[in-house]
Structure 1
């Protein structure tokens, strides 16, 4: 086993515990993130508001991924069907849900 395999094996049970805690206390974590973001924004006099909001959103997203599990017990964090990390796939829900039947009509 490589170093990363050993590390993953040792951290596996901890991830499950963190996930359970995130599920139980998600609302408290969200409030805490908002409170910290507000305090930092006030202390920096709004100079970094956009960065603070971005960071807060990313932290909440990571917490949500930890808290939600798929039906097979795996951690959530996959992508929504019909989308890719770069955006919606052709024929996915964002484009009307059905792919075109054939080539575009000739003009």
Structure 2
């Protein structure tokens, strides 16, 4: 499966909903739309709660293996929860600590 991502880095760079809808009409189906800014905000909020308690959260690679999503998750300090050799390989390739 191939992946392509489009990322808006700030709210000032955000495109209108109508532009998103027009972009979706051009996509082959099925496709996935990820808002990386929402993901970053969610991860920051989670870390603000878990870090003071000494918890180290791990992301289940089985849930989503999109390389860009995994990079954002790694950048926020989460660990990798892997149950297969392929998931371990992907985690190492994405830069998670072994």
Normalising by structure 1, what TM-score? 0.27
Name whichever structure is richer in helix by fraction: 1
Larger Rg: 1
Normalising by structure 2, what TM-score? 0.28
Flag the structure with more relative contact order, 1 or 2, with Cα contacts below 8 A and sequence separation at least 6: 2
